[in-house]
A and B are shown apart, each in its own frame.
Chain A
Amino acid sequence: MVQHMSEMIRIENVSKRYADFVALNNVNLTIEAGAKVVICGPSGSGKSTLIRCMNYLAPHDSGTIAIDGVEPKGRRNIEKVRREVGMVFQNFNLFPHLTVLENCILAPVQVRKLPRARAEALARQFLARVHIAEQANKYPSQLSGGQQQRVAIARALCMEPKAMLFDEPTSALDPEMVGEVLDVMVELAGDGITMVCVTHEMAFARKVADSIVFMDKGQIVEVAPPEQFFTAASSARARTFLSQLQY
């Protein structure tokens, strides 16, 4: 097969089921390097499962998922590929027993084997990028939700990944904190990193995404540029979904 240098994530015929529930049904999707992709759809449509399959956090049952041209086999290789893909979770999942700085340097020191001083410098640089440098020595529980999520973004960036996955990064936040997280993500998008984001923040999608992936019942129903998706979605299911968001 001809290898396109620009493909960051290639998903081919991927299916996954949880017991009797089909979470993903023969999904195909290619994400180019540097692309900003927003995945949306009703709850239970498989969007979170799909993004968790992209870094092998949820193992898929069949089909292939290649990251930067590599389809990892075996636990060691999968762990290696995961270093290239950062992930931000809905519930932040910061390590509560470590300070903000320690959260950011744990994986770089243990996984990338960076010297501690180098990892710390990197962490401070990324904490500054998410506008939270002054909180480096606090514990996660001392921060607001928005601050915690920005730390989680910095922690993922400290691995210097090629792609970032965001799994509903603002869904667990109080409304007044959504903005500060989205601002950071918009800034990040400007840096050319590949970004995949499951979100219902349609204003963000419109501003940042090059394409919107709409999912329903474990399948990709529609892939379209934001303008087209929001003004003239081709599928009836997507139009219904969008009309319900117009509150």
Chain B
Amino acid sequence: MAFDASVFLDALFSTAFLNGALITVSLALLSHAVGIAISIPAALYISGPPSMLRGLTKVVLGVLRGAPTLLQLLFVWNALPQFFPIFREPWFSPFLAAWIALSLNEAAYQTEINRAALGAIDPGQQSAGTALGMTRFQILRFVTLPQAIRVALPPTANEFITLLKITSLASVISLSELMSVTSRAVATTFQFTEYYAAALVYYLVMVYVLIFLQARLERRLVWNTSVSESEPSMVQKALAFARRS
């Protein structure tokens, strides 16, 4: 069976695929946003001196990191309504269930990233802020966090790419994200390559947009080099290569 370009293009520009991709990207964005919002205070908290409550928090984070994401999705979608009648109401949609499950999962991973990033900052920075009479919040806001963000940015972008792809697991709780749209199309037509190719294009476009944004953000966060000292441009690299060869 040859590759049917018209099926591929139809799939690529169909509203079903576009909707699926929108659900995928919004689920990933919303889950990561909530995950990050939880992870910053969580990372600051678990970095403190050991205590009972801190130990318990670490156990919970460990469970969230340890349990398969698929299991967590199924748990939130199927088991939560068993425990709490409130989740049996019609407003509890697959999207909401996936959002909750992925946010918690992501919060746990992101907490580790942030904890490591905060730990990478020289304790002397804290001392300097303290000696200047700054409050703990001011030190965090103006000294520690801006430096930690630069450390945390690359792993965070990686985390988002993983998350974007993990959203496909939500197809098991009947969320019509990109992969379930694809599977459904394949199931009725058996034209695997065309539909898989269309899905691949969507995922790659989303990931490359993110990589582009990450690179821009990282450039903005470079603080120890002036413009003239920064990376040589493509043209300069090409000229250097031409001279060498």
- Chain A positions within 8 Å of B, measured between CB atoms, are 55, 57, 79-80, 82-83, 85-87, 89, 91, 93-98, 106-107, 110-111, 138-142, 155-156, 159
Contact = CB atoms under 8 A, between A and B. Distances in A.
A97 B150 contact: yes
B132 A107 contact: yes
A96 B122 CA distance: 11
Interface string B101-138: 00000000000000000000010110111111111001
A141 B131 CA distance: 21
B190 interface: no
B146 interface: yes
B191 interface: no
Given A89-B124, A106-B142, A110-B142, A97 B131 contact: no
B3 interface: no
Contacts of B132: 82-83, 106-107, 111, 155-156, 159
Given A96-B224, A106-B142, A57 B130 contact: yes
A116 to B, nearest CB: 14
B245 interface: no
29 contacts: A55-B131, A57-B127, A79-B135, A82-B130, A83-B132, A83-B133, A86-B131, A87-B131, A89-B124, A89-B131, A95-B128, A96-B223, A97-B146, A97-B223, A98-B223, A106-B134, A106-B142, A107-B133, A110-B138, A110-B142, A111-B133, A111-B134, A111-B138, A139-B223, A139-B225, A139-B226, A141-B224, A155-B132, A156-B132
A154 to B, nearest CB: 12
Contacts, number: 73
A110 B134 CA distance: 8
Interface string B220-235: 0001111000000000
B224 A93 contact: no
Q: Assign chain B's interface to a size class.
A: 20 to 34
Contacts of B124: 89, 91, 93
Given A82-B131, A95-B128, 20 more contacts: A55-B131, A57-B130, A57-B131, A79-B135, A82-B132, A85-B131, A87-B128, A93-B125, A93-B127, A95-B147, A107-B129, A107-B133, A110-B134, A111-B134, A139-B223, A142-B224, A142-B225, A156-B131, A156-B132, A159-B132
Interface in B137-179: 138, 142-143, 146-147, 150
Contact of B133 (A94, A139, A140, A159): A159
Interface string B52-82: 0000000000000000000000000000000
B143 to A, nearest CB: 6
Contacts of A82: 130-133
A83 B134 CA distance: 8
B137 to A, nearest CB: 10
A198 B134 CA distance: 24
Given A106-B142, A139-B223, A89 B127 contact: yes
Contacts of A85: 131
A106 B125 CA distance: 13
B226 A142 contact: yes
Contacts of B146: 97
A139 B127 contact: no
> Residue among A87, A89, A98, A107 with the most chain B CB within 10 A?
A107
A57 B128 CA distance: 9
Interface in B40-57: none
Contacts of B226: 138-139, 142
> Residue among B131, B134, B143 with the most chain A CB within 10 A?
B131
B226 to A, nearest CB: 7
